[in-house]
Amino acid sequence: MPRAIPRIVITGLGAVSPIGNDKEAFWEGMMAGRSGAGPITRFDASQFETRFACEVKDFDPLPYISRKEVQRMDLFAQFAMAAAIMAVEDANIDFERVDRERVGVVFGSGIGGMWTYHHQQQNLYERNGVPDRISPFFVPMLISDIAAGHIAIRYGLKGPNYGTVSACATSSHSIADAFMLMQRGMADVMLAGGAEAVVCPMGIGGFNAMKALSTRNDDPSHASRPFDKDRDGFVMGEGGGILIMETLEHAMNRGATIYGEIRGIGLTDDAFHITQPAPGGEGAVRSMKLAIADAGLQPSDIDYINAHGTSTPFNDKSESAAIRSVFGDHADSLLVSSTKSMTGHLLGAAGAIEAIATVLAIKRGKVPPTINQITPDPECTLDYVANVPKERTIKAALSNTFGFGGHNATLCFTAFEH
């Protein structure tokens, strides 16, 4: 007999972001239209083309992990652990009372332990290539899958566990994988998301070399301006986000509070260029269409799209074109916003933090704005929720993330109806 496909709901959220270090602070920052951008403080950036970023501010890992653990975890893993612990508390889930062999973690990072690599490489240089000062924790701190391992060890979670890596689509793929694993009956509960910490010399320098970052050094707070005619590149962000996902049956049996439901996913590749999107956003078109179809919905059912919206010349116009292609006349009724205008681009963590923004928008009936909308771009003609949030009943929403390599991931969330 065919297995019944379970419904998958969201019961817990954890966020560490440039505009707030927990779920509520993150939401308040979005509703206030606050930019997280400012001069880089993590290193001396005075010789770099870009000297600002959206850094996480006033982050203290010690309420979440011990001092010894801090010394043995890269910053991205510290963000991951904090987000995970907050999400577990938010979900009010007691892992002593569930089958931990049926609880898994899929958690990704686009780049992994960049700061760890930086510091250990410096140690090597200072010793003129003699490797006796390389830490025995170098590899475990560096590898991008380690955050999933740390989370599992913390709670004794023995279900499916691994990391995803697909550049800026990484944590959307984490959520999509968790969704599919649960649909296949391999877990009752999954923790899914991503974290990134690449506001470092090679992170900023590398993206500067690609001419991908904004260089609006005299006005950082207005630098991330998705869909605005005067955008000149993205703003680097950092942080982490995680969702607790459960089968509806499991969530109901324990009396969980439900934020919303994940209904569908769309995963594609452009197969076109290592960094530029395909003409007309062709891969994004297929990704959105697949997610809507997987959810059993029609394009006219979608009320809101949390756009990839990077504030780069190519992405914003191609994503706008893709939305028009998918939705036709309904595109003019959609609300579309890019929360990267406030958080910057969290790379591998973008999908998770933006999924949280999307789920909260559905739950609370308010759509985050796209700030810094000053000069309309004639090639971007949708309702981008300019500068201030809008109240709107949202029954269904998409969250788009697209990554270098042509990776496209679209997640479809809906309001929960029993």
Which residues are designated catalytic? 168, 308, 345
CB 358 within 8 A of CB 338: no
Q: Which long-range contacts (C-beta less than 8 Å, at least 24 apart) are formed by 381-387?
A: 381/320, 381/324, 382/227, 382/320, 382/323, 382/324, 382/331, 382/332, 382/334, 382/336, 383/332, 383/334, 383/335, 383/336, 384/226, 384/227, 384/336, 384/337, 384/338, 385/335, 385/336, 385/337, 387/33
CB 137 within 8 A of CB 72: yes
> Rounded to whole angstroms, how far apart are CA atoms 65 and 150?
11
- Per DSSP, helices labelled H in 184-312 are 201-209, 248-253, 282-294
> Rounded to whole angstroms, how far apart are CA atoms 246 and 241?
17
What kind and span of H or E run contains 326?
helix 313-327
CB 90 within 8 A of CB 245: no
CB 109 within 8 A of CB 173: no
How many Cβ atoms from other residues are within 10 Å of residue 126's Cβ?
Answer: 10
What kind and span of H or E run contains 189?
strand 189-196
Q: Which of 2, 10, 38 is nearest to 250 (CA)?
A: 10
> Rounded to whole angstroms, how far apart are CA atoms 106 and 154?
15
Torsion sign over Cα 155, 83, 335, 340: negative
Q: Which of 5, 1, 3, 34 is nearest to 248 (CA)?
A: 5
Q: Which of 7, 1, 19 is nearest to 371 (CA)?
A: 19
Tell me whether strands 189-196 and 103-108 are parallel, antiparallel or unpaired: parallel
Q: Which of 62, 34, 291 is nearest to 180 (CA)?
A: 291
Residue with tokens 């050094």: 217
